[in-house]
Structure 1
Amino acid sequence: MPESVSPAPISQTCRLTRHRRSAGTARQKLHDFLLPHPSGELLLPTGELLVSELVTNAIQHCRAPRDRHILVRFHLAPDHTLRIEVHDADSEKPVIQPISNSSETGRGLFLVQELAQSWGCCPREGGIGKFVWCHISPEAAAA
């Protein structure tokens, strides 16, 4: 009897602790999610960078108890557009900061704005916290 191959999932969710290593975990989860998909290799470099920036922002700037987790969600649409969502328990919307040549931080949202097809921030259902999302298309990622 031939072995059936199950299709790669089109959505995945994971919970991460608010720890500096969680950005690396999010990159690995995205890698594992995208690799089985035909467009995965095109989306991976930009996707890894942007999920890392969004998770790092949630870790560094979330004004909620340290034991609150970060929820990360990936979704691959039929047109191969990747949606990344990073949820945290702080309702304050992120703001793109002016970039200083001497500053070592503060470029994360600027990178998201420049590299994503689109991005935004929405309140979470139930009113606790927010999620920041971005869309990456294979065409834009390949450019």
Structure 2
Amino acid sequence: MPETPCPAPDEQTCWLPRHPKSARAARQELHAFLHSHPSREHLLPTGELLLSELVTNAVTHTRTPRDRLIFVRLQLSSPTTLRIEVHDADSEKPSLRHPASPTSETGRGLFLVQELAQSWGCCPRRGGIGKFIWCHITAPAAEAAA
């Protein structure tokens, strides 16, 4: 009996420590998730950047004990739309700042998310502990089919 290839999953999740290297681990998860997806080349560059920014924000700005983990959910909500969620245990919503000065080393994360994502937001987590930031990245339909 010939083997048929398994379809690519439409969702992948992982838990990451609150550590500076977690953004890299999240990007690796994204690469694995989109490995064989037809829209990979269109979703991956922006997906990597925004996922890195959201994970870095959760590592840097979350006011919780260091042993709390970050939960990441990657989901294909359509063939050309990637949904990214980054959950943390801090219930305080992030604040969007105007672009930082050219010499500042921080302050651009959510501004990049706002500028590059089709949509984004912040929601409380179920159970009342923490929040998650989500964003949607969409590949152009004509280019994704190519």
| Count of aligned pairs | 141
Instruction: Indicate the SS of the match to 1:126.
Output: helix
Instruction: Indicate the SS of the match to 1:106.
Output: coil
- Asked whether the equivalents of residues 16 and 22 of structure 2 are also in contact (C-alpha less than 8 Å), the reply is yes
**Structure 1 match to 2:108:** 107
Instruction: Indicate the SS of the match to 2:94.
Output: coil
Q: CA deviation at 1:42?
A: 0.8
Instruction: Indicate the SS of the match to 2:126.
Output: coil
Deviates more, 1:121-130 or 1:91-100: 91-100
CA distance in 2, matches of 1:25, 1:79: 24
Scaled by the length of structure 1, the TM-score of the pair is 0.95
Instruction: Indicate the SS of the match to 2:105.
Output: coil
Which deviations, in whole Å up to 9, do the C-alpha atoms of 1:80-129 show, x marking residues without a partner?
A: 21000000000010111232222111101110000000000000000000
Query: What residue ranges of structure 2 are gaps of 5+ in the alignment?
Result: none
Identical residues among aligned pairs (%): 70
Is it true that 1:126 corresponds to 2:122 in the alignment? no
RMSD, aligned α-carbons:
1.3
Q: CA deviation at 1:4?
A: 2.2
**Structure 2 match to 1:62:** 62
1:1-143 alignment runs, 5 A limit: 1-98=1-98, 99-139=100-140
- Asked whether the equivalents of residues 90 and 130 of structure 1 are also in contact (C-alpha less than 8 Å), the reply is yes
Structure 1 stretches of at least 4 aligned residues deviating more than 2 Å after TM superposition = none
Q: CA deviation at 1:79?
A: 4.1
- Asked whether the equivalents of residues 10 and 75 of structure 1 are also in contact (C-alpha less than 8 Å), the reply is yes
Scaled by the length of structure 2, the TM-score of the pair is 0.93
CA distance in 2, matches of 1:136, 1:69: 24
- Asked whether the equivalents of residues 27 and 51 of structure 1 are also in contact (C-alpha less than 8 Å), the reply is yes
Query: What residue ranges of structure 1 are gaps of 5+ in the alignment?
Result: none
Instruction: Indicate the SS of the match to 1:133.
Output: strand
